[in-house]
Copies of this chain bind each other. A is one copy, B any other.
Amino acid sequence: MSGVLEHATRLGPYRARVMGVEPLGGLALVRVELDSRTEVGVPGQFHMLSNPAGRDYLSRPVGLIELDGGVGFVVDQASAAADMAGPEIAVLGPLGRGFDLSETNAETTLLVAAGFGLTVMAGIGRMHRHIRLIAGLRQSDHLPLLECITGVTNDAPRIAPDLVTEPLIEALASGRYTQVLAAGPTGLGTAVARICADHGVASQVALEAPMACGFGACNGCVVPLDGTWLRCCIEGPVVDGARLLA
């Protein structure tokens, strides 16, 4: 009967082995060894993670980060301890739409990200070394998260209440950038999309929303898109910035 199981899904969930949990300030980097059937996906895609023995009933979406010698993800320390500390977790993905990187290059593309949205930028940095990143963080003890985002050239990170939108406006004023790739909560995405539109610059935005399933089944993850509420996990998480302004 195990054929039934294999047959059911191309995506999983498959098991991943937790190889270690490293503190990153108030956050934690969880290193995992993925099942051979699980792919990392393209930047902007996500995976639903859960630990059957953990505290949380639902899976949560996270962005996997390719590390030197492995794969990992970042969550807050409490979640890491209660849900992701292994030995095995379940991983479903990659899910959702990632960034369209066909026009991306380090010269004319600018990255803007805040919070867990930063994790998305690691993959882009690996492809386009020295691409410029404007990073925002909710609190200063999240600063060590930036250690995982290699490849990029960081501006001085903004810590709330400082906003990433200020340096973004300055940067776009230079006229150098033709495209902005952003990742963060919906509020940030909308602000970035608005500023880009005002400057005639293209934007792609990776949104965040609470998700129960990650694959279109629950209708729980809606974000304001095209003037209505659409599922972030299916329509996104990466969307064309213009859709946030409709």
Contacts and interface: CB of A to CB of B under 8 A. Distances in A.
A238 to B, nearest CB: 37
Nearest to A55: B53
Interface in A28-75: 53, 55
Contacts of A55: 53
A53 to B, nearest CB: 8
Contacts of A82: 53
Nearest to A54: B53
Interface residues of A, number: 3
Contacts of A53: 55, 82
A17 to B, nearest CB: 18
A82 B54 CA distance: 11
A82 B53 CA distance: 8
A82 B82 CA distance: 14
A53 B51 CA distance: 13
Nearest to A82: B53
Interface in A73-99: 82
A55 B53 CA distance: 8
Nearest to A81: B53
A217 B82 CA distance: 31
A87 to B, nearest CB: 12
A39 to B, nearest CB: 32
A55 B82 CA distance: 13
Interface in A120-155: none
A53 B55 CA distance: 8
A245 to B, nearest CB: 46
A50 to B, nearest CB: 15
2 contacts: A53-B55, A53-B82
**Among all A-B residue pairs, the 2 with the closest Cβ atoms:** A53-B82, A53-B55
